[in-house]
Amino acid sequence: MKSILIHNALLINEGSSYIASVQVVKDKIAAIFKGDVPESVLNSSKIVDATGKWLIPGVIDDHVHFRDPGLTHKADMFCESRAAIAGGVTSFMEMPNTVPQTTSIKAWEEKMAIAAEKSFANYSFYLGATNDNLTELEKADFSKVCGVKVFMGSSTGNMLVDDNHSLEDIFRNIPSIVAVHAESEAIILENKKRFSEETMGYMPISYHPLIRSAEACYASSAKAVELAHRCNTRLHILHLSTAKELNLLEQGPLSSKKITSEACVLHLWFDDTDYEHHGSAIKCNPAVKTAEDRAALRQALASGLIDVVATDHAPHLWKEKLGDCLTAASGAPSVQFSLLVMLELVLQGVLTKETLIERMCHAPAIIYHIDNRGFIREGYYADLVLIDPKVEWTLTGKQILSKCGWSPFEGQRFHSCVSQTWLNGRLVYETGKITEIKAGKSLHFN
């Protein structure tokens, strides 16, 4: 069996960019050559000419909703994992608000079996917390389960954990990552009542960030941070959306942080002025907020105060997105275009390409202690993405692989594309074409 040599790429990895060639043997990275490649390697390898292209580790998305099982009319593991690899996302961690909810070991095992059969990308699944399932959570093998998801604010799936004693027990007793959706349910309900009375019950989509307000986010995030400090929890705050929440975070080396955070692509790209044009297409929980909030999130991402970029990929059929602030479904698909959107922010000077790779590839691997992924290193799995940084194109509906068939980025002009994606050493995507090989493996955590 010949090795593969990805030859003469600009390798972006671990804070540096340089011309290099990467040799892949079976499912692993065998060698990295900076400069000349030995003749013996050139003669024994299948050469992929990567001149003028960028080679990065596969993106790891720690926050997706693939809707499988139970909600497969809008998304499923097969379609969404194909969209992922087409976008350079080679590994994902999926959330528990499916049907049935992934709140037991049995439900988690059933999801793993679905992924083993259907997934084109590497996979792992959170266990979901409830007010009364701590005993079940404590049975988990956290070398295979990526973490425990706690909805401290209600969202799609109605998995709200609102009992303070239950919350403290979860924060104190889970020996792995506790990942939280932080919005204060009490503040949301109070805002909903007030604005419903003011508007006589009909609220345009633009009211969404007023109901799911910055105050609702901060109150819940602050509660999560206080609990984490008191209980010595390994806390990960999902989809930060406000400038104020950044005051709860600390700078420092990622490897030593006990509290980490994530920003999602929708909150980094859109602001509340975009509701006028995009309407419910950008309605998500927590809500897209002000331009000032967006600017603060971008700055925090660039500085390392925010650690991870994810998607919160959450497809709905378009008919489910119709309606007003109270009736349109919250959530949007984004896993296929998250890397490309973030590369547009690199082009705009918001952050460097090296920092982007740290946030989308390295940081999830470090935070979750993922075994041998997230970096281009000898002996690591060959999850690799080749980017053409000089291709201009406009996204149309025909290019969308998510089952729901729409994207909030439709009509966006991009200036780069994913040229090829390798997963565990196998070419699974090449310039618009999926290689029909379900090559995904389960993630393991050290």
CA dihedral 236, 240, 242, 245 (to 10 degrees): 0
pLDDT digits (tens, 9 = 90+) for 353-384: 999 999 999 999 999 999 999 999 999 999 99
Q: Are residues 19 and 128 in the same domain?
A: no
In a domain, 121, yes or no: yes
**Cα–Cα distance for residue pair 77/68, rounded to 1 Å:** 6
In a domain, 347, yes or no: yes
**What mean pLDDT value characterizes the chain?**
96
Confidence of residue 309 (pLDDT cuts 50, 70, 90): very high
Q: Are residues 284 and 300 in the same domain?
A: yes
Structure tokens that stand for 198 in this block: 């003011």
**Cα–Cα distance for residue pair 167/57, rounded to 1 Å:** 36
- State the CATH number of the domain containing residue 77: 3.20.20.140
In a domain, 402, yes or no: no
Task: Specify the range with the lowest mean pLDDT, choosing from 64-73, 85-94, 196-205, 281-290.
Answer: 196-205
- Quick one: what percent of the chain has pLDDT higher than 90? 94
Structure tokens that stand for 279 in this block: 């309407």
Q: Are residues 92 and 193 in the same domain?
A: yes
| Average of per-residue pLDDT across 79-88 | 98
pLDDT digits (tens, 9 = 90+) for 91-134: 999 999 999 999 999 999 999 999 999 999 999 999 999 999 99
The upper half-sphere exposure of residue 375, i.e. CA atoms within 13 Å in the direction of its Cβ, equals 16
Q: Domain residues for 28?
A: 3-56+377-393+409-434
Q: Are residues 109 and 48 in the same domain?
A: no
Tell which wins on pLDDT, 292 or 432: 292
In a domain, 404, yes or no: no
Q: Are residues 97 and 32 in the same domain?
A: no
Q: Are residues 181 and 198 in the same domain?
A: yes
Structure tokens that stand for 62 in this block: 């720690």
Burial degree of 85 (CB within 10 A; 0-12, 13-18, 19+): buried
Phi, psi angle pair for 262, to nearest 5°: -135, 145
Q: Are 167 and 142 within 8 A, CB to CB?
A: no
CA angle 295, 356, 341 (to 5 degrees): 65
**Cα–Cα distance for residue pair 284/262, rounded to 1 Å:** 15
In a domain, 98, yes or no: yes
* Res 174 pLDDT > 70: yes
The pLDDT of residue 435 is 87
The pLDDT of residue 431 is 85
Q: Are residues 282 and 389 in the same domain?
A: no
Q: Work out the number of other CB atoms within 10 angstroms of the CB of residue 13.
A: 22
* Res 327 pLDDT > 70: yes
Confidence of residue 267 (pLDDT cuts 50, 70, 90): very high
Confidence of residue 158 (pLDDT cuts 50, 70, 90): low
Domains of the chain: total: 2
* Res 418 pLDDT > 60: yes
Q: Are residues 38 and 122 in the same domain?
A: no
- State the CATH number of the domain containing residue 45: 2.30.40.10
Q: Are residues 106 and 74 in the same domain?
A: yes
In a domain, 238, yes or no: yes
pLDDT digits (tens, 9 = 90+) for 270-284: 999 999 999 999 999
Tell which wins on pLDDT, 162 or 21: 21
Q: Are residues 233 and 258 in the same domain?
A: yes
Strand, coil or helix: what is 304?
coil
* Res 154 pLDDT > 90: no
| Average of per-residue pLDDT across 53-57 | 99
Confidence of residue 208 (pLDDT cuts 50, 70, 90): very high
Q: Are 55 and 22 within 8 A, CB to CB?
A: yes
Q: Are residues 38 and 67 in the same domain?
A: no
CB neighbour list of residue 242: distance below 8 Å, 6 or more residues apart: 214, 217, 218, 286, 289, 293, 296
In a domain, 372, yes or no: no
| Average of per-residue pLDDT across 243-262 | 96
Q: Are 299 and 318 within 8 A, CB to CB?
A: no
Task: Specify the range with the lowest mean pLDDT, choosing from 1-5, 169-173, 244-248, 385-389.
Answer: 1-5
In a domain, 229, yes or no: yes
pTM: 0.97
Q: Are residues 150 and 168 in the same domain?
A: yes
Q: Are 297 and 306 within 8 A, CB to CB?
A: yes
